[in-house]
Structure 1
Amino acid sequence: MDQSEVEYKVKPRIQKGKQVEILMEENACFYDLTYYLNGCTNQNPDADEDERQITPTLNLLNISYDVSEYIGPWWKGACFRKKKQKRVVNDINVQFRSGELTAILGSSGSGKTSLLDIIASRSNGRIGGKVYYNNYLCTAEVIKQYAAYVMQADRLLHNLTVRETIRYAALLRLPGKMNSKEIDEKVNKAIAEMGLKHVADSRIGGSVVRGISGGERRRVTIAIQLLQDPKILLLDEPTTGLDSCTTRHLVSSLSDIAHNGKIVILTIHQPRSDVFKMFDKIGLLSMGEMVYFGKSGQMVEYFQDLGYPCPTYASPFDHYVDLASIDRRNHERELETMSKVQKLVQAFSNSSINDENIHNIEEETMRHSTRRTMLFFFKPQPPSLMRVLYCLIGRMLVNLKRDRTIYMSRLVMLSLFVPFVCAFLGHIKTDQKSIQDRIGLMYQSVGVPTYVGILIAVGVFPPLRDLYFRECRDGLYSTTSFLLSYAIHIIPFQAISAMIFSIIVYWVTGLHPSWSRFAIYYATIFVLHFIGEIMTVGVMGVFFNPQIANSTSALILSASVLIATGFLRSFPSMLDIFQWGSWLSVMKYSAEILVANEFSGLNFTCPPMPNIPCQYPTGEKYLADYYPDAVEHMRRNFWALGGFMVSFLFFTIVAFKIRGIPNLH
């Protein structure tokens, strides 16, 4: 076939696709207008057509997807690096039908996950073409109501049971008007549908504590998405890391779900031959273009007619994925395989199977809407804010109390510093030398609670953050709700931990013997402990790596203690910029509170020898030299601590919102 014949056959098809797209936009606008003017039940469809069994479809018309990528090293910055457009998906025309299980095959980088992102309205680049479900443009609202997306990674809390995991998800996903009995029925149905009854009361488990198997974790993730009874189920690499037996059972369950009237689409990287016949349709992608899309039973015959028969005893999946892959071991092999793939793409574009696909899309998209194809756009009453907070806080507490290591670290990690402080300082006296001892104790009282807060946040928060990324992407709750729940659930533990630390350190070291002053000391320790953890959580919203977040938070707090407390160097002797900057640090106000609380009203003994001067006979004399007006500013400083608590929580929310949700694939 020469080039002119190829162009002659391809051009009408492209024009035809454009015509379909234009007409579809007109029809969609007309039907949307009719829907909003006449309501859901005032349609008068053709009676004969309404009586026919109409299968819901998902149609992709002339889909292309371009993403931006920077050229050059990252340290040049966005302003100095060139940016180019990369086409990830190109000219895709396919139809997915209800009651069919469709597998999208292809090697890494072929565009499988990008195709799912386009359907799910989760893409970040520029999309060409349209996606329609039952003649309606698939916007984010349509997808949220009718589709569910199961991502590749299982983000589950290891200490919860299967039933608890699904029930907490149901509380967040199901309408607010549903009562506890109705929610339990939904949970039990999802457990039964995914074959999880035998492990319903078993823990999810993780790398340390053994729980359910990897295949069962995948089933739990799918069961969560089935709670809302979606019409479209998208799954990204659901069989990754599973053995052949588990893979077969999982695909069999997905096939049953599809045949019960849903559109089920999954991507798969290395499928096994024993699941070949379970797929109703197969799409084979390479370099973002469709090499084959049709019935699974026709694939071998199709490639055999092209001159690529499947060898005896070879898996058709493996063989044809290899056939459509690019070999990049050297330049010659890359050019050779790219040329072969381009011929395969061209052959499918001119094939009768593709003609049938386009004909089906035209027939479906040109058909008038009826009651059977009408989409009912409604927004069920979401769970109330109180239910969301109750669910999030309850889930965090259950997950925490099941892990003895984390639970005890929250309560006693701060207290582990107590023996070192008490053994080093002992019972502080009231002579001139004790002034330095008290300043050292104040230094430890300011630094230790914040640093322990860093350690706890780094060890506890990442699994909760990963789960938040998935659920916030599904639109279950806001960033504010999640972080507010986290802050509320840590307060009791920090209050107890700060109390144990304070009551031992304060009375064993012999600080000012007053319960009212002890209360001030305790309140300061509690606030610093809280701020250390919340600030680290905010840093982990910016840096996804916990080790980097740990180092960054420790650096910030260490610099604050060095500059803003006046313990290591007096304020008058520091540079002006440091003196000004100290007003922006919580350490300045907490240090003034602790010093004023301890030194005010304290009398020091002087050396018995008359030739040695008594520099600070009273605490007020010391405060006048180094912390003037600290006593008078006590109320102001406490207001500042409260403001810093709110400010750090606000900073954490803003950090998460600006950074956004990463690519969870």
Structure 2
Amino acid sequence: MIGSDYTLELCNVFHSGVVEPGSLFQRMTGGVKTGVILKDVSFTTHSGEVTAILGSKGSGKRALLDVIARRVPSQGLVLLDGAPLQPGAFRGTSALLRHSARLLPSLTVQQTLALSLTKVSGYLKSQKVKQVMADLALSQVAHKCVTNLTKSEYRRLVIGVQLIRDPIILLLDEPTWELDPLNTYLVVSILANAAKKYGCAIVLTMEKPRSDVFPFLDRVVYLCLGDVVYAGPTRNLLDYFGSIGFPCPQLENPLMYYLCLSTVDRRSRERFIESNHQIAALVEKFKMEGQALTQAPLHEHRSVMNQGKVPLSYGKPSGAHVVWMLYVRMLASIFNFTKGGMKQVFMRLFCLPLYFLVLWAFYNESADYQRAFITKSGLLFNAIVGTYFISIMNTVCLFGPYRSRYYQESQEGLYSGASLLLSCNLVSLPFSLISTFAATAIIYPIVGDLTEGLDYIYFSLALWSGYVFAEQQALAVMMLVKNGLIAGIVNIYITCVYVMLASGVLRSYKGYEEWLYYLTYITHTRYASIFLHRSVFKQPAFNLLPYNDRENCSSITNLIQTSSTINTNSNANCRYPSGKAFLTERFTSKNFAGDMYQTGDFNLDFNLGVAFAFTVGSMILNKFLYLMPLPSYIKDKFRE
């Protein structure tokens, strides 16, 4: 059990990894340049303290945070209260926060904090939310949308999401990145007060520290190319460097002065060699003399304000609670009056009906002549394809923020991808069902009778299965593809392949080689398209349709009435004696002989059932896909 006062200690830590970024192929094949990133790093920090890790770009600051968070392998010891800090223990008590953390854009400040995943809820959580907003100076913007916050407010809110869980160690990667001097001072001063108030050990990285934040830093660690130039209390900084012959000039910012002293000068070859030798001497000097000089007695770091305090909120909530909170969070991001919320409502509910309204405008005037076979088959094709494509568009546009948040929170061990998808499905399924039924009601009078309620329901369900199937396909692709445009193109390309293959509209099954015909059996489109066409063209209204007002097709009744017959009477315009003949031509193989209505492939219940089997199967498959461990370079791509 970790008490109210604790110590985080690193002893002789070494870490090797990628020192230069490579291409995707190089990363997959292991052909990137690797080397030692951290070399014999040791330092100590205590509860209630703010420790700054300072260094230029490439010095190893981020790698050091990853080592403390137990996200990368390392040699040496990382101890919490004298015991090795394991990855599970870190996730259960502490947090690592990147400066690029993303929040859900449609929520307000108060909703973001209130819907964060914590073990506590109800009154205790609401009080904690108010307290954190007051401590981070966010009370005045409590009802402001996240997208309308300033950079400083956004950064403080991201920190607040972690503070509300009472971490005992909070690692912050560049919390003052791109902030002006006033807001940099504000953020660091707030962190210093929060560290003492909550008894949290805060370790942050900074690339360009200002002099006005000096009083708020209890400890400082200077890194240069993975080596420690200095690690110890800030109050000993000036004395130590003065004792080894590097006093800080008057009116200079000591933090920045010694950072420059610890940085390799690359302006010329001579300066590069000289600064390298100087830094090597500083590193060796600190190993020999500095560590004994910079250590302070443990009793000086006891936090009076935090005695007896044990974290209550931190840790992982139960699985059911996580799914419920994710579900409520998504609903809250949809049902609000922000721009993002209204966009989600419009895309989820109105995009598909608007598209079907356009189809209605084009196909409403189609008359019951011979060309109705092609016209209404084209309407069904456009309905299927439009349902697929709009589902893909909605998923690519709307799922991105939830995915980014997932890849950040999953690193904290809060929930798995299966929990995210379950909550997403619980939210999206009712919306897609309502949207599909409303869209079908627009075009169904063209192909059927709305008074036949059961037929309309089945027709809508077939299209809904396609909507959900395309949504699950998009979710699977977005697990690996970050860019929304690329993910959309990949999904549309995949969809075009099985639509062209199995819709039966662009090309009849009779024109396929046997292997291509059997390939249609593994597509959702085959079963949805056959169901929709069979439910429409089975109607008696499609028997003996005239060519136009002056020409009928009565002579086709004298033809042989087999399912494989194609009309060859003297009127070449009268091609299809019935809907059955049209279906036989479009959806049977070239070797088919017999009555198509007697085969199971054309059974309405069978095709609707298999269409939903594809949909449910894709949902289950995605749950497993999002549980699979991904290479670190893919996961990092989503978190950056």
Short-chain TM bin? 0.7 to 0.9
- CA deviation profile, 1:182-222 (whole Å, cap 9, x unmatched): 22223233223323222223322x2xxxx232222222222
In structure 2, what is the Cα distance between the partners aligned to 1:497 and 1:54?
54
Give the corresponding residue for 1:262.
Answer: 200
Deviation of 1:357 (Å): 5.5
Give the corresponding residue for 2:458.
Answer: 520
In structure 2, what is the Cα distance between the partners aligned to 1:75 and 1:153?
25
TM-score, length basis structure 2: 0.85
Aligned CA distance change for structure 1 residues 568 and 240 (closer, same or farther; 3 Å): same
Give the corresponding residue for 2:7.
Answer: 57
**Structure 1 stretch 129-138 or stretch 334-343: which is displaced more?**
334-343
Deviation of 1:375 (Å): 13
Q: Does 1:96 align with 2:45?
A: yes
| 3-state SS of paired residue (2:343) | helix
Give the corresponding residue for 1:646.
Answer: 616
Q: Among residues 185, 191, 194, which one is paired with 2:136 in the alignment? A: 194
Give the corresponding residue for 1:181.
Answer: 123
Aligned CA distance change for structure 1 residues 70 and 570 (closer, same or farther; 3 Å): farther
- CA deviation profile, 1:424-472 (whole Å, cap 9, x unmatched): 3233333221111122112101100110011111211111111112222
Give the corresponding residue for 1:579.
Answer: 517
In structure 1, what is the Cα distance between the partners aligned to 2:104 and 2:571?
65
**Structure 1 stretch 602-611 or stretch 579-588: which is displaced more?**
602-611
Deviation of 1:90 (Å): 1.0
Give the corresponding residue for 2:108.
Answer: 161
Deviation of 1:55 (Å): 4.9
Q: Does 1:289 align with 2:236?
A: no
**What are the within-5 Å matches in structure 2 for residues 438-477 of structure 1?**
438-477=376-415
- CA deviation profile, 1:351-378 (whole Å, cap 9, x unmatched): 2x213467979x99xxxxxxx9999999
Structure 2 counterpart of 1:557, which letter?
A: T
Structure 2 unmatched runs, 5+: 301-305, 556-569, 588-595
Aligned CA distance change for structure 1 residues 538 and 232 (closer, same or farther; 3 Å): same
Deviation of 1:486 (Å): 0.5
Q: Does 1:658 align with 2:598?
A: no
Deviation of 1:392 (Å): 1.2
Structure 2 counterpart of 1:275, which letter?
A: V
In structure 1, what is the Cα distance between the partners aligned to 2:601 and 2:40?
73
Deviation of 1:507 (Å): 1.1
Contact 2:416–2:626 (CA under 8 A) maintained in structure 1: no
| 3-state SS of paired residue (1:230) | coil
Give the corresponding residue for 1:116.
Answer: 65
Contact 2:10–2:41 (CA under 8 A) maintained in structure 1: yes
TM-score, length basis structure 1: 0.82
In structure 1, what is the Cα distance between the partners aligned to 2:394 and 2:241?
57
**What are the within-5 Å matches in structure 2 for residues 131-280 of structure 1?**
131-169=78-116, 172-174=117-119, 178=120, 180-204=122-146, 206=147, 211-260=148-197, 261-280=199-218
Give the corresponding residue for 1:387.
Answer: 321
Aligned CA distance change for structure 1 residues 83 and 395 (closer, same or farther; 3 Å): closer
Aligned CA distance change for structure 1 residues 410 and 622 (closer, same or farther; 3 Å): same
In structure 2, what is the Cα distance between the partners aligned to 1:82 and 1:498?
49
Give the corresponding residue for 2:368.
Answer: 430
Aligned CA distance change for structure 1 residues 349 and 76 (closer, same or farther; 3 Å): closer
Structure 1 unmatched runs, 5+: 1-39, 42-52, 365-371
- CA deviation profile, 1:588-644 (whole Å, cap 9, x unmatched): 111111111111133241443663054321111222233244774322222222221
**Structure 1 stretch 128-137 or stretch 418-427: which is displaced more?**
418-427
Structure 1 counterpart of 2:609, which letter?
A: W
Structure 2 counterpart of 1:108, which letter?
A: K
- CA deviation profile, 1:286-310 (whole Å, cap 9, x unmatched): 1111111122233234334444444
- CA deviation profile, 1:128-158 (whole Å, cap 9, x unmatched): 0111111111012321333232321232122
| 3-state SS of paired residue (2:354) | helix
In structure 2, what is the Cα distance between the partners aligned to 1:659 and 1:634?
40
Deviation of 1:76 (Å): 6.6
- CA deviation profile, 1:458-502 (whole Å, cap 9, x unmatched): 211111111112222212222111111101101122122212221
Q: Does 1:620 align with 2:566?
A: no
Deviation of 1:379 (Å): 12
In structure 2, what is the Cα distance between the partners aligned to 1:459 and 1:516?
34
Q: Does 1:400 align with 2:334?
A: yes
Deviation of 1:70 (Å): 8.8
| 3-state SS of paired residue (2:229) | strand
Deviation of 1:227 (Å): 2.4
Structure 2 counterpart of 1:62, which letter?
A: N
